Amino acid sequence: MVDEEMVKESMQSVVDPELDISIVELGLVYAVRFEDKNEGIHAEVDMTLTSPGCPMAAEIMAAAHLAALSTEGVDSVHINLIWSPRWDAKRYGHLVNPSASSLKGQCISGISLSQGL
């Protein structure tokens, strides 16, 4: 039987393009629920992004959908983009390298990486 951890494991391959870290490791995937429908097992995935203004939102969401759908035993997927609770960079700051030149001066959820986390 498919479970939340199996779907999250499938989603490990989806990487935030700015941070080069898995969306699962970043804590962007909040929950996975399942429904048994006529067509098979349906997964509802609640996730967020590092910022509401993320320019790569569509690409990340599409990759998350495909990755979750690749989970054995899952027949359909819906990704719910939610903003509450907001993603907290302070909680996952140990994963982010603030000296990375591609991130210098950018803001992720209101925290300037040029100043550190």
Q: What are the chain's domains?
A: 4-92 (3.30.300.130)
Using alpha carbons, list the distances in angstroms from residue 2 to 27, 34, 44, 76.
21, 9, 13, 12
| pLDDT attached to residue 34 | 98
d(CA 80, CA 77): 10
pLDDT of residue 42: 98
Tens-place pLDDT, residues 98-109: 554 344 334 444
pLDDT mean over 28-47? 97
Confidence of residue 113 (pLDDT cuts 50, 70, 90): very low
29-37/21-22 β-pairing: unpaired
Q: Is the pTM of this model over 0.95?
A: no
